[in-house]
Structure 1
Amino acid sequence: MRKVLLFVWLASSVGTAYAHGNFEHILGTIKEVHPGTILVETRQHQIRTVSLPDKVPILQDGHSISWKDLKPGQRVVIHAKKSAAVLQAHEVKVGKAP
């Protein structure tokens, strides 16, 4: 019975990982904001540069905002995809500053 449950659990977790596709999840705090680019310090204290395409959705409290509204110190969750050597954001969710 344990083997069956383990198999079911493993099979379902593979589907969950696949559902995210090739997107990388970046969680951290905004360090710098530039036109089309933000620098984010991750929980592991790495600085990641993320490109913000013109039409990328940036959401705060369920509302769309502009990249110009982003401020250093805000927490973000970014779904990004590596395109060549650049991380390109596909969605940015902004939390409250600590």
Structure 2
Amino acid sequence: MKDTRRGAETLELASESLLAINKYGFQGKFKIWCLQFMLIPKLLWPLLVDDICSTTVEAIEAKINKYKRKWLAVPPGLSDVAMHCAKSGAMRKE
């Protein structure tokens, strides 16, 4: 199987899985848990084994980030650094 085809299949798997997680009646934090412990490990294998181009990986990352922002109800102007950095002002505990 060609790696370009595997890239398209992986992108389709990510899209379908994100839609399925989104349809569940869970709160956002539980959807993030499903993403972190169920979907991402499922996506890692083809990304590690096959030579998938970086544009496809970036497209998958963009879809994941879109849903994460929706599920966590963060403002659209919040940067990715603020979402993922433990030392950012948004994550500090007072």
Question: How high is the TM-score relative to the length of structure 2?
Answer: 0.23
| Higher relative contact order (Cα pairs below 8 Å, separated by 6+ residues) | 2
Bigger fraction of residues in helix: 2
State the TM-score, normalizing by the size of structure 1: 0.22
Larger gyration radius, structure 1 or structure 2: 1
